[in-house]
Every structure is written in structure tokens, then in C-alpha cells.
Amino acid sequence: MLTRRATRAFISPPSDPTPEVAVKGRSLWADAGARFARNRAAVAGAVVLALLCVFAFLGGLISPWDNETIDWGMLGQVSTVGGPSLETGHWFGVDETGRDLYARTVQGTRISLAVGIIGALVAVGIGTVWGAVAGYVGSRVDNVMMRLVDVMIAVPYMFVLILLMVVFERSVIMLFVGVGLISWLDMARIVRGQTLTLKNREFVEAAIATGVRTPTIIARHIVPNLLGIVVVYATLLVPSMILFESFVSFLGLGVQEPQTSLGALIAQGASQMRNDVPWMLGFPLAIFVILLFALFFVGDGLRDALDPKDR
């Protein structure tokens, strides 16, 4: 039989237990970043997009010509001596009026990127607030807000933008406003659907039970949990904004001279193809296609990285 002292020593824990190693978790954004880094196409698209941004905002610093100066020696001889040349400093050649095409392509890329990014930010901002309020409040407020969205979707957005550009002054600011204000409708419907799935979650019910006001719940609990889908939709919205702006500029209703955009440059280049000046269309079109592919690859990579089913 064991004595009391031996029994106590037998059942007592060891005096120097091995310390437990804490398991360090990863957040959703860290997990998404790791998945994005494993997507080679998305990483390549991000690198190309970064290089295009450097080209758009810093490329003009290395050009010996600006976008408005006319090279009078090239005027009237574009098809013979106006092609790309390192000697004359016209690296992309000149247009039909003797202006440097490289400098104008830099400016066009900058304006197209600005229209896409600012238009997407305006659309995402309005659509997120509208959809979150409609989905969370519900009842008659939801019904009225979403019926208004349905009515606005039924109106041809191209007609609305052309009307805005004709009635008001045709400027870059009006293009930003017009593109953004008519592009938030799909975002509102997507956010509303996601809000309906979030409003009955435990953390929202806990906030309601503690007396948190509705605007605070929407701002602190609903909208932060929508950031994943909002970021993905924003990256996919930027290419559509650029395409939209390019189409409007192709019709002659976009930015006005001396400013330009990729759409306006493509329109000018297409009109000069019969005069045997392929560089006027080739360089802006190449930048435009590369930009769109880079944005699509980045958006597709973010969509896969932020998909909770792949966690």
C-alpha cells in the first residue's frame, strides 16, 4: 500500500512542465495576400500595372517633347518622316499635326487611368452606402430604394452620359462625375444582397442588444465585412470605366483638345490608317490592351484570393 506522501507525489503534476507553444494565426487579409502571391498571372498583372502607372505619371519627365508643341518640320510629311525615331526624339512618331505621339500617349494613359480609378471609386462609394442602407433597414425603405435603382438601370446609361456631356461643359471633371454616377447601380444591388446575409449574424444582433444605433452598426459592422467583395468589384470596374470612357472619346464626346485619352488617340489613329501611318494607332492601342489585361488579371486574382471558399 502506498503511503500518503508517495500517493501525493504520484498524482502531483511535474514541477517543471514543458511550456506550451502558442499557435500564431493569420488574418483574412494575410491569407488572401499569400494566395494572391501564388497566382502568377495576378502578380504579373500587378507588376505590369505598376509599370504603366509609372509610365503614365512619370513618363513625360524623360520626353524631349511635350504633348502640345508642334514639330513644324514634320507637319505635312507625317507619312514619310514622321515615324518613330530616336534621332528626332519622337520615340512613338508624331500625329497628323506634328505633335509628339509619345507625350500624348503618356497624357492619354494618365487621363484614362484617372477616369477609371476615380469613376470606380465614386461608383463603389455610392453603391456601397446605398446597398448597405437598403439591405439593413429593409421594409419600405429597401423597397423604395431598390425600385429607384431598377428604374435607373432601365434608362440607357450611354444616353445619360451623352446628355450630361452635351448639356454641361465637356471636361475631364464632368467625365469623372458622369461615369461614376451611372455606374454604381450594379454595386448597390451586390452590396444589398451581401448585407441581407450579414444583418442576422451574431455580432450584429449583439450590437443591437447593446443599444448601438443603426448608422453605427452599418458603418462599423456591415461595411467592413463587405470590403472583400467591394475591393474585387472595384478592380473589375476600373477596366469597364476605361472602356466606357474610350468609347465616349471615340465618339468625340470625351476629353477635348489639347487634352487627350487613349480612346481619343485610338480614334485619331484609326482615321489615319489609310494614310500609311500605323504608329498612330499601334502604340496607343498596345498600351490600351496591355492596361486592360493587367487590370483583368489583378481583379481575377483578388477575386480568387478573397474567396472564403478557398480558405
Task: Report the pLDDT value the prediction gives residue 53, as an integer from 0 to 100.
Answer: 92
Average pLDDT over residues 63-83: 75
- What pLDDT band is residue 14 in, cutting at 50, 70 and 90? low
* Those residues with Cβ within 8 angstroms of residue 24's Cβ, 6 or more apart along the chain or in another chain: none
Question: Is the predicted pLDDT of residue 205 greater than 50, yes or no?
Answer: yes
Average pLDDT over residues 273-302: 86
Average pLDDT over residues 125-129: 90
Assigned C-alpha cell, 35: 494566395
**Which one-letter amino acid corresponds to residue 41?**
A
* The Cα angle at residue 182 between residues 133 and 184, in degrees rounded to 5: 35
* Those residues with Cβ within 8 angstroms of residue 200's Cβ, 6 or more apart along the chain or in another chain: none
Assigned C-alpha cell, 47: 507588376
DSSP code of residue 22: P
Residue scoring higher pLDDT (233 or 158): 233
Q: How far apart, in Å, are the Cα atoms of 110 and each of 122, 135, 174, 252, 303?
A: 18, 37, 17, 18, 26
Question: Residues in the chain, how many?
Answer: 311
What is the tens place of the pLDDT at every residue in 28-46? 667 778 888 888 998 999 9
- What pLDDT band is residue 132 in, cutting at 50, 70 and 90? very high
Task: Report the pLDDT value the prediction gives residue 78, as an integer from 0 to 100.
Answer: 64
Asked, as a colleague might, if the bond just before 156 is cis with ω within 30 of 0, I would say no
Question: Is the predicted pLDDT of residue 206 greater than 50, yes or no?
Answer: yes
Query: What is the residue-averaged pLDDT of the chain?
Result: 80
Least confident of 23-32, 84-93, 98-107, 253-262: 23-32
* Four-CA torsion 282, 283, 287, 292, nearest 10 degrees: -20
Q: How far apart are CA 289 and CA 160, in angstroms?
A: 27
117-120 contacts, C-beta under 8 A, 24 or more apart: 117/238, 117/241, 118/176, 118/180, 119/176, 119/179, 119/180, 119/183, 119/237, 119/238, 119/241, 119/244, 119/245, 120/180, 120/183, 120/234, 120/237, 120/238, 120/241
pTM of the model: 0.77
- Does an H or E element contain 280, and which? helix 279-305
Question: Is the predicted pLDDT of residue 4 greater than 70, yes or no?
Answer: no
Percent of the chain with pLDDT over 90: 15
Residue scoring higher pLDDT (52 or 260): 52
Task: Report the pLDDT value the prediction gives residue 246, as an integer from 0 to 100.
Answer: 76
* Those residues with Cβ within 8 angstroms of residue 199's Cβ, 6 or more apart along the chain or in another chain: 135, 136, 138, 222
Domains of the chain (ranges plus CATH)?
38-67+97-310 (1.10.3720.10)
